[in-house]
A = this chain, B = another copy of it.
């Protein structure tokens, strides 16, 4: 016979904290506390198995359940000495849901269940406080009618308000027993009038109703949507906890409270919480009365007068502090606790691992590791890698006043203040003149790189989390708000309007990239502190991880940043960004417009010296760390102007007829640029471009090696390979350049960013020293999904529950990941020491990094500001892999 009911209380329990899947989080922790001998009101848990059975069998319960439930009630009755439904000595219970994971949208709590017109009198007698008993009854009717019977709680609030108005009362506390009697009568009448039936008087009917409501709410719409979004299978089910009531509202020696064992905001090792004397839990939440502090120290810090619990209830406080210590020692982590004091007796109602800020997570983990409570590996596992991002950027002072003018997507974290500008040229000019500027554009393109560099932050009206602006800004560590759809930019007037406000060029705004908000004026900021704890944790992470962490960077500033954050090399240096610098762009356009290989070579020769300087600068910074440099990737038309006006300006500036420029732009235009003439296809069509780039790289390497005595190593990477022959031909070209210069310390490898490259990895590995998985493009081609266009319908996909996660943010392990595994296996079958890395946006995503660890990759590469996150995520992945 299956066990559907697990009892707890009186110093023991049938369950424990390991049984979360069966008992839910709340039930498992109540059982655990009971076993630890803590004062837990006795109760029992209906398992998640009941929920699953219920839905698998057309919404009927297991036949044995009722008997077990009766035994559970009997157990509570024995331990409390009260009887469920008895008129003289009534047992009251709470009914609470409790799934494995916290689940908004579900029925939460019913208190005081078991009260009716008769038992309320028993409670009155038992408590010696008739007013308290009637207050409890009216609370029960309100709560039960709302969450179980589906009535709106406003009905009851209105009745109570009317009663207070009639009597001329200001506060609930002024109502007498007689007043409450009248209110209760009206409550019951309202239920009858609205639902056509009486409020249930039978405590067992009440209990069954509450249990039905919890299980029923598992399938309500909000819960279903939440589960879809959070990848929670419906089959997990929820548990129901039935527990003897204890009352914090039985006078001045009663109280209720919540506490964290450490400060969840800073991580400091001191209690953080609040309590209310003579109150039930809901009163704390309702915010009608101001809660008091737990400790005297906290009261003094906050300058409050109302006594702290330490002062008001010293004995119970001492007892509570001991429980805190016991629970922290037992769970070996900071706890989030609910408690009630009933007439001087402490009862524990809940404990769970407390949520915390990144800062607190770091401090708590370090403190607990330092005092030996946990190992450094455990400490590493306690910190959410993505949360570190908060610590690396300035943030807005939470206490500062703010005047919001626009909202978009939190595309790149950090906060910044500056004057609004609308063009990249203006951004650059003003920035050079010492101004701090915020670049506001409808959207950005590669031609805006210099403006984005010059700006403190970027705001765009269009584009998603993976738009050009968002990706580039994250790479640069610039705060960015993208897709602020309500913004209407008038470039000519030099202003934007949003939500009825107009912001002009030169107006100061504050951008919060972490929340996606833009504020008028200056909002005061908090600078990041990369404190000792941070460095300590990074050191532990480096010791634990096996994956190397590199950065995607190409400007000296980004390369410096990456090195500062601990990058062990460059995983992706995008050479095309260099061509967008004004002086080279002109030569590059000259090259594009050239009619012959000779004139292309002439134009490229003008770019060679600056490209060589670019690479030399990178080698100087990175010393002997490896640098993977990708040869030209985007289609040539990206380098030409698009609008007629731009074409005319550019034509004039480079001295060709506008008609000719337009003809070439039209000739190069593509239906699907993503799948067009780009990557190594350019190298095949115009070998002279790749030849120039290879020469610039290898000459720079030779120069820096000689100049500094270090041993810089270029890893030249060929993009968009789909066939081994492409790589074979282009490697031969690079080898010829190297032989000509006399350099031999370099390698040639390839991006694996097309499905065919993954499938042909066995043959491609014949010519490659390394594979770098370009998961951005690999995701686009594997899904047949354009990142630029997907924004229009992905919301429909999320709504339909088809895509839980954006595959451009978190690697699609089932599809794209499968190709990576195939490529890794086939590539290494050919060449067992093939170096494997990843350089897409996913290189900075913890879940994707975990996959890279399991796939046996050698390194991940991510944007500079993601390097610390990747170091921690890689450490966690290595620890998980060992376990």
Contacts and interface: CB of A to CB of B under 8 A. Distances in A.
A786 B675 contact: yes
A684 B796 contact: yes
Interface stretch (A165-173, A324-332, A752-760): A752-760
B789 A671 contact: yes
Given A755-B815, A802-B729, A818-B759, A722 B783 contact: yes
Contact of A784 (B777, B793, B803, B815): B777
A725 B818 CA distance: 18
A687 to B, nearest CB: 9
Number of copies: 2
Given A755-B755, A759-B818, A760-B814, A675 B722 contact: no
Interface string A697-731: 00000000000000000000000101101100100
Contact of A782 (B672, B720, B781, B816): B781
Contact of A673 (B671, B677, B781, B818): B671
B784 A675 contact: yes
B800 A729 contact: yes
A783 B756 contact: yes
A785 B675 contact: yes
B670 A789 contact: yes
A797 B726 CA distance: 9
Interface string A725-763: 110010000000000000000000000011110011000
Contact of A677 (B670, B789, B814, B816): B789
A628 to B, nearest CB: 20
B754 A783 contact: yes
A784 B720 contact: yes
B684 A797 contact: yes
Nearest to A676: B789
A568 interface: no
A812 interface: yes
Interface in A678-701: 681, 684-685
Contact of A671 (B674, B681, B685): B674
Contacts of A671: 673-674, 786, 788-789
Contacts of A781: 675, 755, 781-782, 784
Interface residues of A, number: 48
Contacts of A812: 756
A780 interface: yes
A673 B788 CA distance: 10
A57 interface: no
Contacts of A729: 800, 802
Nearest to A796: B685
A792 interface: yes
B756 A800 contact: no
A782 B755 CA distance: 5
A819 interface: yes
A793 B756 contact: no
Nearest to A686: B796
Contacts of A819: 755, 759
A446 interface: no
A796 B789 CA distance: 30
Interface string A802-813: 110000000010
B755 A672 contact: no
Interface in A766-802: 777, 780-786, 788-790, 792-793, 796-797, 800-802
A725 to B, nearest CB: 4
Contact of A754 (B756, B777, B784): B784
A725 B777 CA distance: 23
A808 to B, nearest CB: 12
Contact of A802 (B725, B777, B818): B725
Given A729-B800, A786-B675, A760 B670 contact: no
A675 B776 CA distance: 14
Most buried by B among A759, A784, A814, A819: A784
A484 B681 CA distance: 25
A754 B786 CA distance: 13
Given A675-B675, A685-B793, A760-B815, A782 B754 contact: yes
Contacts of A785: 675, 722
Given A681-B793, A755-B781, A759-B819, A676 B722 contact: no
Contact of A793 (B677, B789, B814): B677
Interface string A404-439: 000000000000000000000000000000000000
A681 B802 CA distance: 11
A756 B780 contact: no
A793 B801 CA distance: 40
Contacts of A684: 793, 796-797, 800, 802
Nearest to A754: B784
Given A685-B796, A815-B755, A675 B674 contact: yes
Nearest to A726: B802
A712 B676 CA distance: 42
Interface string A474-486: 0000000000000
A677 B793 CA distance: 7
Contacts of A755: 755, 781-782, 784, 815, 819
A297 to B, nearest CB: 54
Contacts of A681: 793, 796-797
Contacts of A754: 782-784
A672 B788 contact: yes
Contacts of A759: 782, 814-815, 818-819
Interface in A815-845: 815-816, 818-819
Most buried by B among A756, A788, A796, A818: A756
Contacts of A800: 684, 725, 729
Contacts of A802: 684, 723, 725-726, 729
A816 B722 CA distance: 11
16 contacts: A671-B674, A672-B673, A675-B781, A676-B790, A681-B797, A684-B797, A722-B784, A722-B815, A723-B802, A723-B803, A725-B802, A755-B815, A756-B812, A756-B816, A759-B814, A759-B815
Give 7 closest A-B pairs by Cβ, nearest first. Answer: A675-B786, A672-B786, A756-B815, A755-B755, A671-B788, A754-B784, A676-B789
Given A755-B782, A756-B782, 6 more contacts: A672-B673, A674-B786, A675-B780, A676-B786, A722-B815, A725-B801
